[in-house]
Structure 1
Amino acid sequence: MVGIVSYGAYVPRYRIKPEEIGRIWGTDGASMGKGLMINQKSVPSPDEDTVTISTEAARYMLDRVPDVDPADIGAVYIGSESHPYAVKPSSTIVAEAIGATPNMTAADLEFACKAGTAGIQAGLGLVKAGMVKYAVAIGADTSQGAPGDALEYSAAAGGAAYLLGTEKVIAEVNKTLSFTTDTPDFWREGMMYPVHGGRFSGEPAYFRHVTSAAKMMMEAMGTTPADYNYVVLHQPNGKFPTRAAKMLGFTPEQLECGLLTPNIGNTYSGAVPLGLAHVLDHAKAGDRILVTSYGSGAGSDAFDITVTDEIDSYRRDNAPVLDKILADPVYVDYATYAKYKNTIKMPEE
């Protein structure tokens, strides 16, 4: 059995509402939020970045499995679009922060919003091959959106970490597969903010890849939507995954638990890992989960997961669950948001 041994999640406390963003840019923020199905989004504080978010999530992950020796971690992968350094890896900082020894491999991954699930696939492969005892895969971002752009209403911050192994597995990964094409719907080339392809980002990009990967998985496993208790889809907003789930034949109830974007925004590489973490916060033994990520450029990773009996003895309460993490937000105005996001650039001396 190969799968998830533990997990942890973290989302910054600060929030900003679409109405406040729209107030500054002279647009109807309420209508924009309603159209995207986003009520508010998370905002990282000035001392939070992909490394700190990843470290917090990974520490929560280890708090839940006190019998696991961090020295047994043989790989650490961090998927993100917002690594703080252009060259120095985030993964080495996080690995040392959680007590992993130098006898390991580490790497930063990029594939737009599916870099976190790509890390999970790589970690599962190493564990299944017997090359490492445990692998850590993290998806985290402090995502970017140009001021006044539609992305600004959704680009948020947060992430989740997964410990992958073969002992005391709380959620077995029955199968994983991917659907990948060269579809340039979203990119950044030497710019501070990414560029998106507008309507092109929908049908030929997000919907084609997410539905194709999910259908491929159900065909491979001989399942239908009715066989799953939960479905977690990539969530750049609330609208896209809701529509994709309906296209695939899932009910709103199957999607609800894993859909966090309406209240935290799009956490990019952290979106699907966070959605899955929220499902695992509530899941019970025997529950089955279909997970499908999406990364622009473009590709989707799908996972068929079954929660095992180990979840009953798993020390979930050793770390805050997402409902607790999200329970007490602090709302900021646009000036504070711009300061925290460092969108105001001072002239160089």
Structure 2
Amino acid sequence: MKGLASIYGYGAYIPIYRIETKEIARVHTKGGEKAPVKTKSLPGPDEDSLTIAYEAAKNALKRAGIDPSLIEALYIGSESPPYAVKPSATVIAEALGFSRKLYGIDMEFACKAGTTAVISVAALVSAGVIKYGVGIGTDTAQGRPGDELEYTAAAGAAAYVLGPLSRDSVATIEHVYSYVTDTPDFWRREGEKFPMHTFRFTGDPAYFHHIESAARGLMEETGLKPSDFNYVVFHQPNVKFPQRMAQMLGFTEEQLRLGLLSGEIGNTYAAASLIGLANVLDHAKPGERILVVSFGSGAGSDALSIVVEEGIEARRKLAPKVSHYLSRKKLVDYAYYLKYRRYIHGVT
């Protein structure tokens, strides 16, 4: 059996609160009802990227069925940690009862930090440094009021428990490929509350060039082609970019459908492609192959080829599916949105 590591458990979490695009447009512009992203998720007043990561990790552990004390690595990818100086990894590890002999770290590479966390933990497993570890992508993304990002910047988390290669696992990461360049399409300086971006430059040459390069690089190294994959998941800052990317690479709408969730929940940044993968795993059958390609501004992409294993059938029913979080939602107006995102100074 070939591969880097196996996925023993996976879990997602999406906050219950949503705001409709047309509600944001009512305040700032017109035409929000025509936007492909209809609603976006937002954290409640008692939620942040750490708490939602905890919820996702708890779901992943339920599916894995592994004693938490056996977890010896926790890598968290996020660009919205609640502390500027203090790791989220130690809080989550303590709360879930992970081993004190722990390789724990908070990572940042914009929206690809989650897949990089998963690959890093898988590499520790493959090298024999640890037996089990957890990789998480989590974000409560920020968008300046009135900016384009405000229509899509959302909240969500996904976690993956990784371990030695096994047919009894959920899936196997069979190959990975990463591609990066210095492309400054999006950034936030120290002390600034909101990020800056270069508008359409974020699409081309940033998003499209990096995802295409990573996907083609993986397929060249493995000898695989688009028809060898049953599903494909791309980073999803909106709906149109992944759809165009699929056409560029030769994937069909059906291969893309299950992994494209941004129309319902917005762009969950470091969690986006990993939540899409979780939704695919909620439906996939043993033997099917999945291509996941993330994108992080600055800029880079991770590509992962994943094969579904026999253990998926029994394990996926042990924790809430992504559809559970998609179906439970509470709409709020723009005033509550500002309050929940703490954009109104002096309101807690």
TM more than 0.5: yes
Pairwise CA distance, 1:169: 2.4
Amino acid paired to 2:341: K
Alignment partner, residue 233 of structure 1: 234
For the pair 1:131 / 2:129, whether they are aligned, the reply is yes
2:153 to 152, 155, 161: 155
> Is the 2:10–2:64 Cα contact (8 Å) retained in structure 1?
no
CA RMSD of aligned residues (A): 1.3
Q: Distance in 2 between matches of 1:285 and 1:28?
A: 43
Report percent identity of matched pairs.
54
- Secondary structure (helix, strand or coil) at the match of 1:144 reads coil
Pairwise CA distance, 1:134: 0.6
Alignment partner, residue 327 of structure 2: 327
1:59-138 matched pairs, under 5 angstroms = 59-66=58-65, 68-138=66-136
**Once the two structures are superposed, what CA deviation does each residue of 1:262-291 show, in whole Å capped at 9, x if it has no partner?**
000000001011000000010110110011
Alignment partner, residue 287 of structure 1: 288
- Secondary structure (helix, strand or coil) at the match of 1:75 reads strand
Q: Distance in 1 between matches of 2:59 and 2:200?
A: 38
1:191-340 matched pairs, under 5 angstroms = 191-312=192-313, 314-340=314-340
- Secondary structure (helix, strand or coil) at the match of 1:83 reads coil
- Secondary structure (helix, strand or coil) at the match of 2:116 reads helix
> Is the 2:282–2:316 Cα contact (8 Å) retained in structure 1?
yes
- Secondary structure (helix, strand or coil) at the match of 1:323 reads helix
1:333-348 matched pairs, under 5 angstroms = 333-346=333-346
Pairwise CA distance, 1:315: 2.4
- Secondary structure (helix, strand or coil) at the match of 2:64 reads coil
Pairwise CA distance, 1:170: 1.7
> Is the 2:158–2:274 Cα contact (8 Å) retained in structure 1?
yes
Q: Distance in 2 between matches of 1:151 and 1:342?
A: 17
- Secondary structure (helix, strand or coil) at the match of 1:103 reads coil
For the pair 1:8 / 2:11, whether they are aligned, the reply is yes
For the pair 1:47 / 2:46, whether they are aligned, the reply is yes
Q: Which segments of 5 or more consecutive residues in structure 1 lack a partner in the other structure?
A: none
- Ranges of 4+ aligned residues in structure 1 off by more than 6 Å: none
- Secondary structure (helix, strand or coil) at the match of 1:320 reads coil
Q: Distance in 1 between matches of 2:206 and 2:29?
A: 30
Q: Distance in 2 between matches of 1:325 and 1:317?
A: 14
Pairwise CA distance, 1:101: 2.2
1:165 to 142, 149, 163: 163
Pairwise CA distance, 1:121: 1.0
Amino acid paired to 1:332: V
Amino acid paired to 1:45: G
> Is the 2:22–2:38 Cα contact (8 Å) retained in structure 1?
no
TM-score (norm 2): 0.96
Q: Distance in 2 between matches of 1:204 and 1:287?
A: 32
Amino acid paired to 1:134: Y
Q: Which segments of 5 or more consecutive residues in structure 2 lack a partner in the other structure?
A: none
Q: Distance in 1 between matches of 2:346 and 2:207?
A: 36
Q: Distance in 2 between matches of 1:188 and 1:73?
A: 33
- Equivalent pairs counted in the alignment come to 342
Alignment partner, residue 37 of structure 2: 38
- Secondary structure (helix, strand or coil) at the match of 1:46 reads coil
Pairwise CA distance, 1:28: 2.4
Q: Distance in 2 between matches of 1:156 and 1:45?
A: 12
Pairwise CA distance, 1:27: 2.8
